[in-house]
Each structure stands twice: as C-alpha cells, then as structure tokens.
Amino acid sequence: MMSLATNKAVFLDRDGVINHDPGDYTRHISEFTILPTVLPAVKILHDAGYLLIIITNQGGIAKGEYTAADVDEIHAFLTASCRQAEAPITAIYYSPHHESSGKSLSRKPGSLMIERALARYKINPELSFMVGDKMRDLEAAAGAGVKGVLIPTNAPLSEYLHLLLLPRT
C-alpha cells in the first residue's frame, strides 16, 4: 500500500530548546523567554519544508506547580511569536502527567504524542527529526521511528541546523 505520509516535520522539545530552561519548571509566561536564535532557526526549518511541532512534558500540571491555563497562555504567546517570525507552528502537544500521579503513555519517554502527530498530519517519520535536550526526548523519538538530535540545554538552535538540513538520499 502506498503511504500517504509524505510530510516531514521537526519535532521540538520546549523547555531548554525553544525557551530558556532555568533548571526547574517554567510556571508562568513571565518566566518564558524564547532563546535568541530560535525564531530565525525555525523560520529556516519552515522554509525548508518542515512542519514545526512542539512535543513537551508539562508534569508540573499534575504536581500542581501551575495550571493548564498557564500552559495555554504560554503556548498562545509562542504560537503568535512564531507566526510573526513567519515560521508558523503546526501543533503543540503537551503531556500534563507526571510519574508521581500515575503512568502515562503520552509523557516522554513515551512516544504517543509524536505518534499522534505523525498520524494527524500525515508525517513520514523517516523524513523527520526530534530535537531535544534530554535523553527522554530521544527515546520518545526512537519509539516513533523518528531520528533524534540531542542538544545541550539552552543551546543556540541555529548551530544545529546543519544536522537537520543535510541532503537526503
């Protein structure tokens, strides 16, 4: 059967990849700072034909550190910022769960968020990447058949674009 999954995507972790991760939770929009090279970098990825999809654990919701409304406010700001930078985000998936309150397949290293996005947006995992700053990001990617790129926390994303833009055979 012919695959309908012809799109390609870069899946991006949020905290420490998109925005500065201070080392614990980003609880409120006042603590949310997009890292300096991120907007130009995602514009380049968008122009190269990648869908941009955020895949983020937000277990602080389950732990009562902040609410889903706080996360939604941050994500509305992030969506608007990327749109303004002409790098529209296709979707943001977040898992509100945490081990302390029960098992979840969506929380990374589970791959369910990525698998949902692959199906919803007809994405070919073999053409796609996940960029993260934790091993659990790469484990989630591997579980969905997506290549992972590990970068240091709060590293400039622009310096890793060559790993995502290699000519493919």
Question: Which residues here bind Mg ion, judged by CB under 5 A?
Answer: 13, 15-16, 133
Q: Is 21 a catalytic residue?
A: no
Backbone φ/ψ region at 143: left (φ over 0), alpha (ψ -120 to 50), beta = alpha
Minimum distance, C-beta of residue 13 to Mg ion, in the bound complex (Å): 4
Kindly report the length of the chain.
169
Distance CA 87, CA 159 (A): 18
Q: Which of 15, 21, 70, 137 is catalytic?
A: 15
Q: Which residue, 15 or 70, has its beta carbon nearer to Mg ion?
A: 15
Q: Which residue, 119 or 135, has its beta carbon nearer to Mg ion?
A: 135
Q: Is 13 a catalytic residue?
A: yes
Minimum distance, C-beta of residue 93 to Mg ion, in the bound complex (Å): 14
Q: Which residue is nearest to Mg ion (CB)?
A: 16
Distance CA 82, CA 59 (A): 24
Q: In terms of DSSP H, where are the helices of 36-163?
A: 38-47, 68-84, 112-120, 135-143
Minimum distance, C-beta of residue 120 to Mg ion, in the bound complex (Å): 23
Q: Specify whether the CB–CB gap between 113 and 93 falls below 8 A.
A: yes
Q: Which of 13, 21, 70, 133 is catalytic?
A: 13
Which residues are identified as catalytic?
13, 15
